[in-house]
Amino acid sequence: MTHYITFTHTPIGWIELQATDTHLCCALWVPEPGPVSNGILNPILQETVWQLEEYFDGKRTDFELPIQQEGTSFQQRVWEELQQIPYGKQISYQELARRAGNPKAYRAAGSANGKNQIFIIVPCHRVVQSGGDIGGYAYGTEMKRFLLQLEEQNSKR
């Protein structure tokens, strides 16, 4: 199976995108771009770049992309639930665990959230601590705060 790689520059820096012929499989923040796959930008990567641009411009509130990540059945449920959190809203790790089918597994839900390989598109940044504290984030709380504020501002338009 062929993997395609490209990089796109956004207001939060560089995002590495990886896709197969049929699915987006990775969207990760990187400090700088690396080599791309033979200069080929497949249709899924082109669409992803376009949708990310719309997201950062405040013109897109959800993504319509074929995605696929490798993970356990519980991780898959968590990632599916992340995509159901409305733009500009947040839920707690405990609520995420409940929605994924196991209310007591909030630590496992948090772990699955942290293993998400398609950030922003699978919006792991929308999960916060029960008391409303922002909580952790793989790319740091400053980036999480930026994404939450971006969505909050754009949802008021």
Domain range summary for the chain, segments of one domain joined by +: 4-56, 73-155
pLDDT value for 110? 93
26 an active-site residue?
no
Q: How far apart are the first and last CA of the chain?
A: 42
CATH T-level assignment (fold) for domain 73-155 = Arc Repressor Mutant, subunit A (1.10.10)
pTM assigned to the model? 0.93
pLDDT value for 38? 63
What is the Cα Rg of the chain in Å?
15
pLDDT value for 152? 94
pLDDT value for 34? 86
**71-100: pLDDT as tens digits:** 999 999 999 999 999 999 999 999 999 999
Q: What residue ranges of the chain have pLDDT lower than 70?
A: 38-40, 157
Q: Which of 49, 65, 124, 147 is catalytic?
A: 124
Find out whether 36 and 7 touch, Cβ atoms under 8 Å.
yes
Residue whose pair of structure tokens reads 């999960």 in the numeric block: 127
Find out whether 22 and 44 touch, Cβ atoms under 8 Å.
yes
pLDDT value for 115? 96
Please give the backbone phi and psi of residue 128, each rounded to the nearest 5 degrees, phi first.
-125, 175
